[in-house]
Structure 1
Amino acid sequence: MASSLASSVTSLQSSLQLLDNSITTLDSGVNDFPRLCKVLQTTRHFELLPEPTLREAQQSLLDEITPSIAHLLSLASNHVERLLRREEGLKAKCDLQEGRLSSKSEGRASASRGQNKSSSAMRGQLAGPGGASTANAASKAAELRRLVQKKERLKYAVDRLELQSTQRERQLRKSMAAQ
């Protein structure tokens, strides 16, 4: 019986040793478990959304932005109309000022013409009937030059205002894009 008891004790000791080795192996595996959880944990860098959700978000964003864009466009168009009215007012003022200047110069010219009337009449008599037509043609040529210059000034002013208008539209688009 001593031999069967000794074999039971050795069998029990080998079982305890095997159990101790298993515990040591499990302990070494479990000791690293928090680090493994951290390493194996997945991090979502980009979230994938279904297409209908994406469309709904786009539509809600569009619904939110559309009134603001319409308001800004109406403000811009009002401002452009105001600038156009101002431009026309300035053109009319320019025409009025030029008319006043030309009437003053014509008034001075008519006064000098009154003084020189007798001398021009004498020259007309001496030159014959063609002398008056050359003076008339010269005044028409001067008037034509003045009108051409006025046309060029107005064309330049219109081009400048159009350029300013396009620059302001560009700035408005940039500010709308930045928002």
Structure 2
Amino acid sequence: MASSLASSVSSLQSSLQRLDNAITTLDSGVNDFPRLCKVLQTTRHFELLPEPTLREAQQSLLDEITPSIAHLLSLASNHVEKLARREEGLKAKCDLQEGRLSSNSEDRASANRAQAQSNAAARARQAGSNSAAHKALELRRLVQKKERLKYAVDRLELQSTQRERQLRKSMATQ
């Protein structure tokens, strides 16, 4: 029995030695395994996507951008309208100022004419002029008065349109 035990022990020792050799062989083979995985790994430089996925991505991008674009367009159009109203207001103000300036020069000219006419009328009266000269002078005064009133009406109309624009502008900003 001792011989059978000795043969068992020797067989077990040889099995252990073979197992140890197998482990060292496997260890040397697996030792380089991470580097081999890295070398054998394929890298995709360009990914091909199916067309439906691409369309979905485009649609989602369009859905995301469209409200922002619409908002920016409305802001731009509001600003352009505001600038147009401001331009109209400035033009009306310019017309009003030109009217006032011409009114002042016309008032001075008409005052000078009225003074000259009154001087002429006084001379005519002093000289004992006839009623035809008096009627002509009266007619000139009435024509001048008509021109002044016409100018005043034009000026008031300009002021009215300017106030209407200001009112519309204030209503639009609210």
TM-score w.r.t. length of structure 1: 0.47
